[in-house]
Copies of this chain bind each other. A is one copy, B any other.
Amino acid sequence: MTNPVRIQQEDFSQDAEIAALKAVSKRIGGIATFLGCARDFSEGRDVSEIGFEAYGSMALAEMNKLRSEAIARFSLLEARIVHRVTNVRAGDNIVFIAAAAEHRAAAFDACRWIIDELKQRVPIWKKETTPQGESWVTQHP
């Protein structure tokens, strides 16, 4: 069984993640997932490639904290968070979140909370390659 929180180069399988999630409990009634994908278009520019860079040790620690907090906060039965750190093209998978609960409301609330928090708290940066060159996606402080 793979670890429920991972940073990896390679792609992942929803079927494998869901199977691992379900193996934890027979009480699961609803699983909400979020799959973030690379788009070919961002803020008016064509994007041919997106590269990711992470502060690996801190990112993994923050993702593990996020999973534990989500499980406690939403009474989840299980949750998984996988983020790829590599170069991706349009349509490729970037991030996968899955939240399993007895009932669907908690699963949806938790899944949305995890991806919102991940974007705020996990040290990963994205660089887009466009016809105008490469640029880091970052706002000024």
Contact = CB atoms under 8 A, between A and B. Distances in A.
B112 A108 contact: yes
Contacts of A32: 32-34, 111
A111 B18 CA distance: 18
A30 B36 contact: yes
A30 B116 CA distance: 12
Interface string A1-27: 000000000000111001000100011
A57 to B, nearest CB: 27
* Residue picked from A29, A36, A37, A39, most chain B C-beta under 10 Å: A37
A102 B36 CA distance: 10
B34 A39 contact: no
* Residue picked from A28, A90, A115, most chain B C-beta under 10 Å: A28
18 contacts: A22-B37, A22-B91, A26-B39, A26-B40, A26-B90, A27-B40, A27-B41, A28-B91, A29-B36, A29-B37, A30-B35, A32-B32, A33-B34, A34-B108, A36-B104, A39-B102, A104-B112, A108-B108
Given A13-B15, A22-B91, A30-B36, 16 more contacts: A14-B14, A14-B18, A14-B33, A26-B39, A26-B91, A27-B39, A27-B41, A29-B39, A30-B34, A30-B35, A30-B37, A33-B35, A39-B102, A104-B112, A104-B115, A108-B112
